[in-house]
Structure 1
Amino acid sequence: MYNMLRKIFFLFFILVNTLQAFAQFGSTLRRNDGFGFDTTSTNKPTSNRDISVDSLRKQLDGKKDSVVFNAKYIKFTKAAFLEDSTRLFNLDTTAKDFQHFNPLNDPHSPTMNLGVLGMAFRPMLFEPRKDIGFDIGLHYFDRYIEGPQDIKYYQARARYTELYYVSPFGGKQEEMFHVLHSQNIKPNWNMGAKYAKTGSQGYYAGQVSDILNASLWNWYQSKSKRYTLLVSANFNTIKSNETGSIFNDSVFTAKTIVEPLFERTRLYNSREAGNARHNVKNNTIFVKQFYNIGKQRLVDSGEVALPTQRVSYAFSYNRQKYNFRYGRVDTTGLFKNYYIYQDSTSDSTRLDHVRNEFAYSFYIRGKRISFLKNEVKVNAGLVQDYYRYNQYTYNKNFQTLTLKGNVTYGLSNRINLNVGLQQIFQGPYIGDFLYEANSEVKLSNSVGSIFLGAYSQNQSPAVNYEMQTSNHRRWDLNFDRTKTQNLSFAYSNPKFDLKAKAEYFLVSNYLYFGADANGDITPAQVSGNINMLKLTLSKDFHVGKLTLENYIVYQKTDYESVLRTPEIYTFHSLYMHQDLFKVLKMDFGFDIKYFGKYTANSYAPDIGQFYNKDNTRFDTWPIVDAWVRTNWKRANLFVRYDYLNKGLFSRGYYTVDRYPMPYSVARFGLSWNFYD
């Protein structure tokens, strides 16, 4: 497979180099306007020198006519955008943000991590979860897992195939590959599949990860637009080694002749079998059906139906397995207790979750409508969840019933209000709730929009805070519910590429992992209130072909020693745009990331949890990446060099105590779309 992808990559460069030879046919080449649409008129008369693609095919094939498919023939949606009606989106065939391939380095949601794609992480910024009810608490691999909410359902008038590949030059760190195929069986019936593989050999000894994501989906809609069926299946497998951190805690501050790959780590030994490893499986089967009752309005040339009443039913079955294996006894002091096995470790946690959700919606609209505006929408639902949880000798089986409701009122095309509630009224988590309200006020196209938001949440402790039965950790505790109150104000002005948001959080009974007198991880709860102010600003500047994108976050809390997040985080992208041969679009520039000093977390490898232990604080400096990205019709390519400024201010950096972040590396990425 690797050789095949190298050939595809080489072919791409050959095609780019031949573009100049086709420049004389520039008026017949199809142009992309940056949003996936073809801007070339098919009715434009041709000169003696201009030969259209259709005419050429007609001469060669003897056909009366033919169609050259492009991205405008492919649209997609997600389950979340089918709640009210069918909302379709065009494919983004531009190279915008294409170089940001790593989910751990999301510019707007950075992470503290162990330095390798496929290993554990936690959010760097304050991002509380808005869940209620049962929570397994094991979220250290969440960004590597794809679920029903991530499935894209396509409306493909042509068969659509997507190839994607990322690899370093001359190495095996963080290779990514996926292939996706979707096609319509009938005009109202689409099916598709995706296969993705991510792996890394790491930068330090033992940093090996292997991620498999596979999915299948089906989207059927009756010809009358009344009935919709979604079916999907997700399969995720993650194999991730644990090194236990390196011994050398001055790897970036003291001179050494040892290459990073040969630094000693606590849990890895290349000469022995049984190295520490997580093996996680997360599989989901999902089925959802909608049916429109009564009158419905067809808009967009009959492509979209706006119902007056709708009923829906959703079923899902999710199985999660978490296994940690270590084939020998730890002699470094990392694991102090052996409660079950004395000569090795074999921990296992399993969760089976069945969900049934019933919902009824009705809509009141005026005679003059615009899409999902000028309407009152009421949605009421009942959710039944059944859980079966097992960890060693601890077993728990139960069910919960949750009432869900949502009311949306569109006062006009400029003002809308949304109020929602979730309340568990039966089962062991009775009393958990989430109430929220949001409003958007559009002032004008030039002035922008204002967004107001608030929510109140009452959340029971995740199971891993109260019960742990594994080889090295054991506790049986009881904690109070965590209460979160939030107020937010946001302003957006697309005309000036400006977004600003202010958020205030008041958190009571906050749960976290701390350290006991022996330095071992242990759950803890803050008995008082935690205040958090979070300010976010996004502003882009354009001067000719030069663009400067800015994203700045300021956080201030009275419990920094507990939350342990940086007070300031910034991300900047400076780049220049250049078109070559009229069809090749190119951007080249720099990304600059910076986060302020904060007290670093420690990490417990056997249970995948970050916890507060020592008061270690690291010096921080800007991190600079250089990159080039290109777009040519159906293909995107990037080449980037990470950590360009290594050695300028420091020899390296950390986000988690004793886990060095990657050093400098060059890599490339390629995506190619096919429509036929």
Structure 2
Amino acid sequence: MSKLVLVIFVVFFSSITFGQDLTKSRGQREVSNSEQDTLKPSPKKRLLDRLDPKSKKNKKAKIQDYLIISHKNDTTYVDTTLTIQKEYKFNYLRKDNFGLMPFSNLGQTYNSLTYNFKNTSLMPIFGARARHFNYMEIENINYYRVPTPLTELFFKTAFEQGQLADSFFTVNTSPQFNFSIAYKGLRSLGKYQHILTSTGNFRFTSNYQTKNNRYSVRGHIVTQDLLNEENGGLKDEGVESFETGEEEFLDRSVFEVNFENAENILRGKRFHLDHTYKIVKKRDSLSKNRLSLGHIISFEDKYFEFSQSGVDIDFFGEAFKSDVKDRATLENFYNQLQLNYSNSIMGDLQFNVSNNNYNYGYDKLVVLNGETIVNRLKGDIFSAGGKYHKHYKGFELEGEFGVNIAGDFDGNFLKGHASFKLNEDISAIASINHSSKMPNYNTLLYQSDYINYNWKNNFNNIETQQLAFQLKSKKIANIEVDYSTINDYVYFKKDEVSNQVSPFQSNNTINYLRVKLNKEIKVGNLALNNTILYQKTEDENNILNVPEFTTRNTLYYSNYLFKKAMYLQTGVTLNYFTKYYMNAYSPLLAEFYTQTEREFGEFPRLDFFINAKIRQTRIFLKAEHFNSSFTGYDYYAAPNNPYRDFTVRFGIVWNFFL
């Protein structure tokens, strides 16, 4: 099946690419009303403009013409400015990681300090969630439309013998056809023993629309390879040496770790195609009705593997074999057919039907206590759903629902969203979400060469409800509030009998409140950017544990220098969270699990940074956690897994507009 899908993609994209009239791409593009950040065309482009009279009106391409289109068709444009948000996003994930606690090495996992229980999925998802922070899902892939070729180069130093690089290129070969290609690669040895990381994310996207705008198609191919050496953290006897700051242990490579012979890897490939044909299209501003037919086809093949040469009985218990190699695989083939109707009075309506063909499991049979554990969960799920969207007198209303109507997994969701712009500064958003779905595949079925890591469970659906409200205001603040109730929550913890990590289902209701405030205060060239998160859970069994307060505060100075040839940004960022029962990490499962033995937190993390922008180039220099040697060695990303010590790192983001 995967070969068939690959052939379809290659043939389809090749036919589109070679069918373009390349000479037309130099003269047509959309024109933005904004006049800022204009880019000069290259000498070759200016020569072509002089030779082609039709393109004289397009001698200059504005930055606002370089469009980025999300999987939901939300459109933004390339942003080459240097803001404090760019500082927050200059990291391995390339997004703001507030609420995530990184491990010591770049490319390892993150411990979550907060959770969002809004959900619109009808299917269980693949396990090994600790390895998925850098796994690019469908919603993480963007599409592009550019007047001239665009390149972006990203580089950042890593920890000991490695670096992080992300290269991206996109071009419109004609006004109708665009493609992009990108690769993000990381290799980092790390400060502690046996935590090498080596990851790669390859992305290829393409989008095309006919000249009459009746048919449009977009798709992507993504392959990902995320490998981690796993050392299990510091041995218990080494924890005291770390926390007392003994001089001989300041060289972190001398610490003994729990094991030296294990690694896990997550690999996946996905082929995704989304196309639409407009049966009745909008002809002019007076047209009231539009009707289109849409189709989404997606195939994903992924696996997670934990391997260990030799066994560790003290850490994982008895094993069937002398060497361990556990591999869980998932093949998921998805089809959705959509009927879309738009009316200037009613709004936008969609009805859809879907099919999920899934095949999750293992290539071996396990016999435990005289019983054979099934090694596969496979079948077909048929679903139906709909969407609604309407703008009305300052209000924006959205709704979405979905339900499984046939198959082995029950599931449904309902989402409502309303926003209103009170004035030019203040807007309010309210939303509601209900979800019922099966827990992740690895909680339902797991097989391992370690005896205690084999199970087949018949859990109930996890039921969640969430109410959320958001107020956006530059003058006042950005405030987000959400309240969730969770029933039949599935989580990992150590089994009291085997003392090994296993999945459990709670029979109590968990109530979870979050209040988040973001406000920046500016005085001249100085600014103080504040993000504060308050969380409260009502959970008598201490299953869902989060810090009560999490805060990030940045005091920084920014100004132009050298006759505005360079823009400078420099300051200090404080990250802090209160003590709580921080989740522990299982490298075999690549999952975090609940522990109530010790609280962690209340250690400040101070970073000093100097950033600069010269034309389209942004340069970043940071002294990370510079307070580590004088505020106490009690900083952990998870039990027995210390956070990073003081280090200096630098990097660059460079955009080329040809």
The two structures have a TM-score, normalised by structure 2, of 0.86
User: Matched residue of 1:563: which SS?
Assistant: coil
Match of 1:385 among 356, 361, 368: 356
Note the 1:162-561 alignment, pairs <5 A. Answer: 162-168=152-158, 172=160, 175-247=163-235, 248-256=238-246, 257-258=248-249, 259-268=251-260, 275-297=261-283, 308-330=290-312, 333-338=314-319, 340-341=320-321, 343-365=322-344, 376-391=347-362, 392-393=364-365, 394-412=375-393, 414-430=394-410, 432-446=411-425, 448-472=426-450, 473-494=453-474, 496=475, 498-517=477-496, 518-559=498-539, 561=542
- Structure 2: which amino acid aligns with 1:216? F
Change (3 A) 1:267 1:668: same
Match of 1:578 among 555, 559, 562: 559
- Structure 2: which amino acid aligns with 1:415? F
- RMSD over aligned Cα atoms: 2.7
Change (3 A) 1:62 1:415: closer
Match of 1:134 among 105, 116, 124: 124
Shift in Å, 1:631: 1.4
2 CA distance for matches of 1:106 and 1:184? 26
Note the 1:560-639 alignment, pairs <5 A. Answer: 561-580=542-561, 581-639=563-621
2 CA distance for matches of 1:612 and 1:345? 25
Change (3 A) 1:161 1:458: same
Q: Give structure 1 stretches of 5+ with no counterpart.
A: 1-34, 43-51, 82-86, 269-274, 300-304, 367-374
User: Matched residue of 2:547: which SS?
Assistant: coil
- Structure 2: which amino acid aligns with 1:124? L
- Structure 1: which amino acid aligns with 2:422? L
Cα pair 1:293 1:307 within 8 Å, conserved: no
2 CA distance for matches of 1:511 and 1:220? 43
2 CA distance for matches of 1:356 and 1:62? 47
Question: Does 1:110 find its partner at 2:65?
Answer: no
- Structure 2: which amino acid aligns with 1:566? P
2 CA distance for matches of 1:141 and 1:95? 30
Give me the identity figure in percent. Answer: 20
Q: Deviations over 1:171-220 (max 9, x none)?
A: 53662101111111112111121111012111211110011111112111
Q: Which residue of 1 aligns with 2:28?
A: none
Q: Deviations over 1:507-526 (max 9, x none)?
A: 11111111122421121122
Q: Deviations over 1:245-267 (max 9, x none)?
A: 11111244224213101211111
Q: Which residue of 2 aligns with 1:19?
A: none
Question: Does 1:90 find its partner at 2:70?
Answer: no
Change (3 A) 1:524 1:498: same
2 CA distance for matches of 1:182 and 1:298? 31
Shift in Å, 1:110: 2.3
1 CA distance for matches of 2:357 and 2:189? 39
1 CA distance for matches of 2:598 and 2:466? 30
Change (3 A) 1:41 1:115: closer
Aligned residues: 598
1 CA distance for matches of 2:129 and 2:61? 42
Cα pair 1:602 1:613 within 8 Å, conserved: yes
Shift in Å, 1:141: 1.8
- Structure 2: which amino acid aligns with 1:346? K
Shift in Å, 1:115: 2.5
Change (3 A) 1:282 1:78: same
2 CA distance for matches of 1:105 and 1:264? 32
Q: Which residue of 2 aligns with 1:146?
A: 136
Cα pair 1:104 1:117 within 8 Å, conserved: no
Cα pair 2:103 2:644 within 8 Å, conserved: no
Shift in Å, 1:103: 4.8
Cα pair 2:39 2:60 within 8 Å, conserved: no
Q: Deviations over 1:230-282 (max 9, x none)?
A: 121001001111001111112442242131012111111xxxxxx21112111
Q: Deviations over 1:592-626 (max 9, x none)?
A: 11111011222221111111234111352221101
1 CA distance for matches of 2:387 and 2:571? 45
Shift in Å, 1:637: 0.7
1 CA distance for matches of 2:118 and 2:414? 14
Shift in Å, 1:425: 0.8
Q: Give structure 2 stretches of 5+ with no counterpart.
A: 1-32, 366-374
The two structures have a TM-score, normalised by structure 1, of 0.83
2 CA distance for matches of 1:548 and 1:658? 34
2 CA distance for matches of 1:306 and 1:586? 51
User: Matched residue of 1:186: which SS?
Assistant: coil
Change (3 A) 1:376 1:500: same
Q: Which residue of 1 aligns with 2:648?
A: 666
Change (3 A) 1:102 1:315: same
2 CA distance for matches of 1:306 and 1:93? 39
2 CA distance for matches of 1:217 and 1:398? 30
- Structure 2: which amino acid aligns with 1:589? G
2 CA distance for matches of 1:37 and 1:115? 44
Cα pair 1:292 1:307 within 8 Å, conserved: no
- Structure 2: which amino acid aligns with 1:364? N
2 CA distance for matches of 1:387 and 1:194? 29
